Structure 1
C-alpha cells in the first residue's frame, strides 16, 4: 500500500567538485560547475510545491560552494529540513556561517585510525574532522558521524562509537557500502558483517536503517518486483540545473529545468520515466542507501516495518520529528 505519492526528498548536487579523492566514490572525477543562487531559489519554491520535505545539499563536497549558507537559508525559510554531509576539510572556516542552518549535519569518517581514514580519502582530513567536532559543539551544533561500513572495517564500529561518538555525545550513523557503476567498493557485505551492524544499530545513539540490512539479505532490488521508488520519492538536480532521471547513479536522462521544475516534473515525458523506477536493467540488485531510505518510507512493505523503528529513533534524537508532523 502506497502511503505517499509525491516526492519527499531532493538530492541537490551543488557541485560535483571535491577536495578529496575517496577510493569508493567517482563523483570527484567529474567536471562540474556550481549551482547558481537564482536557479536554486526558483527550484526550492517548486520543490516545496511538489511536496518535498527534506533537501540534501550534496556533491562532491558541498562546502566548496561559497553560497552554501545562502542556499541553506533559502531552504529553511521555506520550512524544508536540511541535510549536509561533508568531509570537514572546510568546516572550521565556515562553521559560523553554517550555524543553525543544517538540521542534519554529517561528518564523514571512515576509520577511528587517522592514517587509515586519510588513506581512504586520498587527503589528510582526520584531524579536520576532530577539529570540526570540537568547533561544532562549541557553537551548539550536534553533528553526526557518518561511517561507511565495509567488510574490512566493520570491526572498528566499537572504537568509532566508544572513542569518538560517545565522548562527544554524537550519533553514529552506520552507512553500509553499496556497489554502483564501476567503482571498486570491496564487494558485498558478508553475513557476519550484516549481523554485527544489526546488533550495533540497536545501541543508544547509533542509527542504522534495518531495511538496508534486510534488502542486502534479499539480494537488493529486483526488477520483477521492485522495492525502489527512487524517481517518485526523490528529485535529483544536477549542478548544470538539470533534472536527472531516474536517479543520479543511473543518470539515463537529464532535462533542463529552466526555472520550471514544477511543470517539468509533472510532464508526461518525465512521468513515463518515473514509472520505470526500479524496473530498468541497471536497477537489478541495487541497494543504494540514499534512494532506498525514502523508498521504504512511502510504501507499506516488510522494508517499511524494518525501517520504521530506526527512523523514529533517529528523528527523535535529532528533534526533526517536530518538522515532519
Structure 2
C-alpha cells in the first residue's frame, strides 16, 4: 500500500453535499451515484459472493483517473469505489483525492479487514466522505467471513481516527438472525449507522425472510440512531415479507456501475446491459435509461438503486425495458 503525501487535507462538508444534491434534483441528466470497480481481487471468499477473485491485478490508476474525468463531465455527484476489495488497490487514497478534487463526493464499499490507522488518516486527508463496511455475523461461518470478530478492532480504529461517515451493512439470511441483531446493536453502540440488506437469488431478486429473520429485522429497524432518515430502507419491508414494491428505477441514468474494463452496467445484477464503454456514455444514454422502466424493479433489493432513484419518484417513465 502506497501512502501519498498531500499538500493539505481536503474535507467535503455535509452542507456542500446537500447543495450538490439540490442541484442534481433540478437536473435529471446528472448521475447521482456511480460505482466504479477498482479491482476484482478480494481478501475474503464469502459463499454468497461472485464479485471477486484472488488473482486480478488492480485497474491502473491512470485508467481510473480517465474514468473519473468522464464522470466529472457528466456531473456525477457521488462516486463509490468497489471491488473485490477496493482497499487492496495500492493507489486508493490518491484516487479518492482525485475524485474529491474533481468536484465529486468519494465513497468506499469495503470489508474493512485491511484497515490500519495510517490508511484511515490518509483517507481523511484525501477527502473521503463516507465508508460502508460489511458484517454479517458474530463469527465466521460456511457462508460468510465478514464477522464482527474480525471487524470489531477495525471499527475501534475508525471510531478513534475517521473523520468521514461510517456505516455498516449486514446481509440478512447469510447467518443466524439473532447474530445479525447482536451485530446491529454493537455497531449502533459504537456510534455508527447500520443497514440491513436482503439476500438475493441468482437473478438479483430479493428472497423473502423467514419469520425469525423478519422479526429480527423489525427489531433492528427500531434501533435508535440506526440510520439517518434520508437513507431509510423502508422499501425493504414489503420485499422482506415476500411482497412486491412498485417504484421507478433510474438505473443507467441516476445510478450505474462501471466494471473493471470500463464498461457501464445498469447495476451489478444487470451486468451486461448496456455494457457500453464509459468513455462513450453520453447525456443521451442517461436520458434514454431515465425514461426506460426496469422489469426487475418490483422485487429489487439493491439499496443504491432505490437511493439513487429517490429524487425522481414524481417524474414519469415512458416504457418498460430490460
Pairwise TM-score range, normalised by the shorter structure:
0.7 to 0.9
- Residues 164-202 of structure 1 show CA distances to partners (whole Å, capped at 9, x for unaligned) of 431x2222222233334489x9x4224664454345324
1:137 equivalent to 2:159? Answer yes
2: CA distance, partners of 1:163 / 1:247: 31
1:220, 1:287 within 8 Å by CA — same for their partners in 2? Answer: no
Residue 313 of structure 2 corresponds to 299
2: CA distance, partners of 1:40 / 1:190: 41
Residue 119 of structure 2 corresponds to 94
How do 1:1-325 and structure 2 match up within 5 A?
5-6=28-29, 7-29=31-53, 32-92=56-116, 94-100=119-125, 101-111=127-137, 113-116=138-141, 119-122=142-145, 126-141=148-163, 143-150=166-173, 153-166=176-189, 168-181=190-203, 187-190=207-210, 193-194=213-214, 196-207=216-227, 208-217=232-241, 219-220=243-244, 227-244=248-265, 246-252=266-272, 253-257=274-278, 260-261=279-280, 264-267=281-284, 272=288, 275-279=291-295, 285-300=299-314
Q: CA deviation at 1:10?
A: 0.4
Q: Secondary structure at the match of 2:235?
A: helix
1: CA distance, partners of 2:242 / 2:209: 12
Question: Which protein has greater RCO, CA pairs closer than 8 Å, 6+ apart?
Answer: 1
**Alignment RMSD:** 3.2
Residue 309 of structure 1 corresponds to none
**Would you say how many aligned residue pairs link Structure 1 and Structure 2?**
282
Q: CA deviation at 1:234?
A: 0.9
Q: TM-score, normalised by structure 2?
A: 0.74
Q: TM-score, normalised by structure 1?
A: 0.73
Q: Secondary structure at the match of 2:299?
A: coil
Q: Secondary structure at the match of 1:206?
A: coil
**Which consecutive residues of structure 1, in runs of 5 or more, have no partner in the other structure?**
302-325
Q: CA deviation at 1:143?
A: 2.6
Q: Secondary structure at the match of 2:70?
A: helix
